[in-house]
Structure 1
């Protein structure tokens, strides 16, 4: 699909996930030095809260937003969640958890923070069976082998069916979507990681393109959409550009995680951004063709020499390569296509001083 002649479109924006504490190491300075101007943030850190405050209250969120802005970053997405396990399982206390989400969404709307990235994985979040897989030049990546979990015990809450998760998700959306519509905040559902069900007796429902279509139909709304985490979607389909177009042409892609994996959903390892099986340039061209102008962030980078592997996938120096590589791919994708941000020889917003 080519851009219509004479029709300029905005380009996809490159962001980085920055925990809301610029004093924690070198991450904030090197991301800024790499030319990134959009931040994906968490929730306010506990040490920043005054007595009686919660992270989803207005004042802590205001201070956090001002913190990003004081360092030259626009807070584009919040990618952290209040506790939601009771809501996911349909247990007592779930309604109070949903009340908390509604408060977060309302305050995001008051502050002009446009996207909330959430997920519907019960009991545990992303799962890897190895976080020290040797990769290029001795770098480290994470991997997953479902066979190693064949005899893993269940969780303290017991087994959970996919049917229960669909029921609780529909209830959650019926409560939260009207709040998000009034607030002007987009709800971007992250896929299960890995998109495999069940894991340790726990059902997982955000695990296929068909299930994402079902998500969008549960409570139809302009604010009900997705986080297109390419590493997980790569495990759902062999044609990732097709999947991008399928959802983005509906206006349902609100946020992008760009990473890659090698293998199958039962057994895979993560890769450097330039060393995986996916044609990432074709993916960026797909976002370009549908006019997506939201943010993507590099995701799950290798741990490289000089970095710590304490947070696998999120080491600071590994991000520099990913940022540079993706900026180069973006330049290639948009070079012959006019945008409202820049022409072929002009700096992009992230590059501008």
Structure 2
């Protein structure tokens, strides 16, 4: 597979499926076929703590990570002309992240998901280690260019909420539980032929309402995938988070690309740093997006890349902040233009004009 563009699409057919095909997008980043209380939803309300109580789990063969629900979802996508290239969702994992009793059951659910992905030839699982609170924002209505709405984050505002019901969670607790998880899951992924794509913490702050965030620097991401070294143990290179970290994004694309550790890409941008930032249109942030795209091309990245959070534009309800459709239409067109420019300038390098 060469570098391919994808969109996160719902599990059931919708207008978004048709728009994706009209854009020429044939690769899908899919959720699990349905959600359960306590589970992970990729487009959930940002910053809201997730319940730690044991989730209500359907009986075997009816859970969204079981074979038949995944098969039926994949067949729906295939019959509409799509290839499911990534699952970006998980069974409940909060006890696994916190190292609490019940984590082994959650890890078994993940193992079941990975084995079934292998059987169905779905090659990449995007996952994260953000305990209790997934991606966090303090506004979902920040105006940007032309009155479009984006999400933004102010750490001082978030911390006013105080601790969550779980109290203090330390870095060591999360590193220990991550190592325990990877030791159980990586051998299964190797056997199944499924690549693990670990997403960094968003926002990349050391602590969020008393809960440590450990995957907040490129070096921490390196440490995480080195806990259990394997060709299948890699990362989701989320450009927005790496940019928020304050690092030079293309440098780290090249670094992880040299390790063949980039299994999936979120292509987006921001303005600001870890404690205060605003998301942007793809052409309006602080990263040189052409240089980033050129770097993926030069390292020979051979996976899928999707536009991540995009602005809510005129006429849209903003009921899924960051995941409405018009901004993603703009993003795919922009990304296609960047890639075409990279390919053509790589094939025909620009040279200085000859002197008379």
TM-score (norm 1): 0.90
CA contact (8 A) 1:145 1:266 kept: yes
Instruction: Tell me the distance in 1 between the aligned counterparts of 2:218 and 2:346.
Output: 29
1:240 aligns with 2:249: yes
Matched with 1:27 is 16
1:17 maps onto 2:26 in alignment: no
Partner of 2:34: 45
Per-residue CA distance 1:302-335 (angstroms, 9 max, x = gap): 0001111000111111211011011100101112
Instruction: Give the alignment's TM-score, normalised by structure 2.
Output: 0.89
2:85 alignment counterpart: 76
Cross-structure match for 1:273: 282
Query: Secondary structure at 1:335's aligned position in 2?
Result: helix
**Cα RMSD for the two superposed structures:** 1.6
Question: In structure 2, what is the Cα distance between the partners aligned to 1:37 and 1:179?
Answer: 28
CA distance in 1, matches of 2:175, 2:20: 38
Equivalent residue for 2:232, pick from 219, 223, 230? 223
Aligned pairs for 1:175-190 within 5 A:
175-190=184-199
SS at match of 2:278: strand
Which SS does the other structure have where 1:303 is aligned? Answer: coil
Q: Does 1:209 align with 2:214?
A: no
**Structural mapping, 1:80-95, within 5 Å:** 80-95=89-104
Relative distance call for 1:51 and 1:191 in structure 2 (3 A) is closer
- The separation in 2 between residues aligned to 1:82 and 1:51, in whole angstroms, is 13
Q: What residue is the counterpart of 2:353 in the other structure?
A: none
Structure 1 residue runs without a partner (length 5+) = 1-9, 344-353
Instruction: Kindly report which structure 2 residues correspond to 1:190-201, keeping only aligned pairs within 5 A, or say none.
Output: 190-201=199-210
- Within 2, Cα distance between the matches of 1:201 and 1:293? 38
Contact persistence 2:130–2:201 (CA under 8 A): yes
Counterpart in 2 of 1:333? 342
Say if 1:243 and 1:74 are closer, same or farther in 2 by CA, change over 3 A.
same
Cross-structure match for 2:354: none
Give a deviation string over 1:87-110, Cα, whole Å, max 9, x none.
111111100000000000000000
Moved over 6 A (4+): none
Correspondence for 2:306: 297
Matched, 1:314 2:303: no
Kindly provide the CA deviation profile for residues 6-64 of structure 1, in whole angstroms up to 9, marking residues without a partner as x.
Answer: xxxx64110000010113xx2111111111010000001259x9985111111111111
Corresponding residue for residue 261 of structure 1: 270
- Greater length-normalized contact order (CA 8 Å, ≥ 6 residues apart): 1
* C-alpha deviation, 1:244, in angstroms: 0.2
Displacement of 1:337 after TM fit?
4.0
* Structure 1 Cα separation of the partners of residues 321 and 281 of structure 2: 13
Displacement of 1:153 after TM fit? 2.0
